[in-house]
């Protein structure tokens, strides 16, 4: 969501306003060898690989704790009698995840259910941060820090580092269980000997390897792309004056569906890929 047009400072152009809201609170090594926070997008880019987006990590960890806390609180208050609203809501989520796992995963692995539940709930909470007005959290961070020009992004899934981190975690599990279930020879054989047999090994590799690595890309970029684009649209809506109200309402209603759908898709792709890793036949 976006606040009214007045949130744009008079010294800022529309382009500068959008660009500032797309910047991260980045901590890393400066060109002079000292460590600290970047003061511009260019400076953050120069910090290189070892820089960290503190805002993305902070919000992600807080939402992870919120997810764990809600489930822990609900479990401590759970009753077999008349359940409360929170228990009902969380039971619906658990049953939805459980149903999808049963219908999609045909191997034997007790990790898949909790993994799918964690992915859905955590990513949903991250996505839902996009529904908070785009100026509220950055302005609060600026007020706390005393720096009116502080960069601070509140939607972790608009950070490719976060979505890629999720994807890498799932990708490692896929490789691990593929080797565990099929053996190293069976895992490598899927790339070398299929679909045309061992006599066409180079062609098999050419066909199979891109599809395998596309699993990582499909997980990381789909989630990132949807929410980066969504955030930009919210920022642009905030610049159109009084016309932003109906536009804001329509986009918010649509975006609620995107928030849920993208979390669900990430969960389902994880279950599907884990199922493929547990299949011993091609």
Give domain status of residue 19, yes or no.
no
Give domain status of residue 36, yes or no.
no
Is the peptide bond preceding residue 25 cis, with omega within 30 degrees of 0?
Answer: no
pLDDT at 42: 87
**169, two tokens:** 């975690």
Give domain status of residue 233, yes or no.
yes
pLDDT at 1 over 50: no
- Scanning the chain, the segments in alpha helix (DSSP H) are 14-21, 41-46, 54-77, 85-104, 112-128, 136-145, 160-192, 201-237, 244-278
Residues labelled catalytic: 218, 222, 226
**Residue 35 half-sphere exposure toward CB, CA atoms < 13 A:** 5
- Can you state the angle between helices 160-192 and 54-77, rounded to 10 degrees? 80
- The tally of domains found in the chain comes to 1
Backbone angles phi, psi at 155, to 5 degrees: -110, 100
The pLDDT tens digits for 9-52 are: 445 677 777 787 888 999 999 988 899 999 888 888 899 888 99
Q: Which residue has the higher pLDDT, 123 or 83?
A: 123
Give domain status of residue 105, yes or no.
yes
**What's the pTM?**
0.86
pLDDT at 184: 87
The pLDDT tens digits for 192-205 are: 766 666 666 777 77
Give domain status of residue 29, yes or no.
no
- Asked if 191 and 212 touch (Cβ cutoff 8 Å), the reply is yes
Rounded mean pLDDT of 221-227?
A: 92
What is the rounded average pLDDT for all residues in the chain?
86
Domain span at residue 204?
56-132+155-278
State how far the alpha carbon of 146 is from the alpha carbons of 22, 139, 141, 142, 216, in Å. 20, 10, 8, 6, 40
pLDDT grade for 245, boundaries at 50, 70 and 90: low
Length of the chain: 282
pLDDT at 247 over 80: no
Q: Which residue has the higher pLDDT, 79 or 95?
A: 95
pLDDT at 6 over 60: no
- Can you state the angle between helices 160-192 and 112-128, rounded to 10 degrees? 150
pLDDT at 159 over 60: yes
pLDDT at 241: 61
pLDDT at 281 over 70: no
Rounding to the nearest 10 degrees, give the CA dihedral for residues 89, 94, 96, 99: -150
Give domain status of residue 197, yes or no.
yes
Give domain status of residue 171, yes or no.
yes
**138, two tokens:** 């950055």
Q: Which residue has the higher pLDDT, 178 or 135?
A: 178
pLDDT at 4: 41
pLDDT at 53 over 50: yes
pLDDT at 11: 53
Give domain status of residue 44, yes or no.
no
The pLDDT tens digits for 94-149 are: 999 999 999 999 989 999 999 999 999 999 999 999 888 777 888 899 999 888 88
């Amino acid at each position: 969501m976006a606040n009214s047009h007045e949130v744009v400072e008079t010294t800022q152009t529309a382009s500068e306003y959008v660009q500032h809201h797309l910047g991260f609170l980045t901590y890393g090594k400066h060109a002079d060898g000292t460590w600290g926070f970047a003061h511009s997008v260019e400076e953050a880019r120069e910090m290189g690989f070892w820089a960290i987006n503190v805002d993305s990590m902070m919000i992600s960890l807080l939402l992870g704790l919120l997810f764990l806390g809600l489930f822990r609180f609900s479990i401590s208050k759970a009753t077999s009698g008349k359940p409360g609203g929170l228990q009902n809501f969380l039971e619906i989520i658990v049953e939805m995840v459980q149903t999808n796992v049963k219908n999609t995963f045909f191997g034997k692995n007790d990790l898949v259910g909790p993994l799918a539940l964690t992915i859905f709930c955590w990513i949903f909470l991250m996505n839902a941060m996009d529904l908070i007005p785009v100026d509220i959290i950055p302005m609060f961070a600026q007020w706390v820090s005393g720096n009116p020009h502080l960069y601070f992004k509140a939607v972790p899934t608009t950070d490719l580092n976060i979505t890629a981190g999720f994807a890498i975690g799932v990708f490692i599990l896929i490789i691990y269980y593929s080797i565990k279930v099929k053996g190293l020879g069976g895992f490598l054989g899927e790339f070398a000997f299929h679909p045309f047999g061992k006599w066409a090994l180079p062609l098999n590799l050419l066909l199979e390897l891109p599809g395998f690595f596309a699993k990582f890309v499909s997980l990381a970029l789909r989630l990132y792309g949807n929410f980066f684009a969504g955030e930009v649209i919210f920022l642009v809506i905030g610049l159109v004056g009084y016309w932003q109200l109906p536009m804001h309402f329509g986009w918010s209603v649509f975006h609620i569906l995107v928030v849920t759908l993208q979390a669900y898709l990430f969960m389902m792709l994880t279950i599907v890929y884990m199922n493929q890793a547990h299949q011993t036949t091609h």
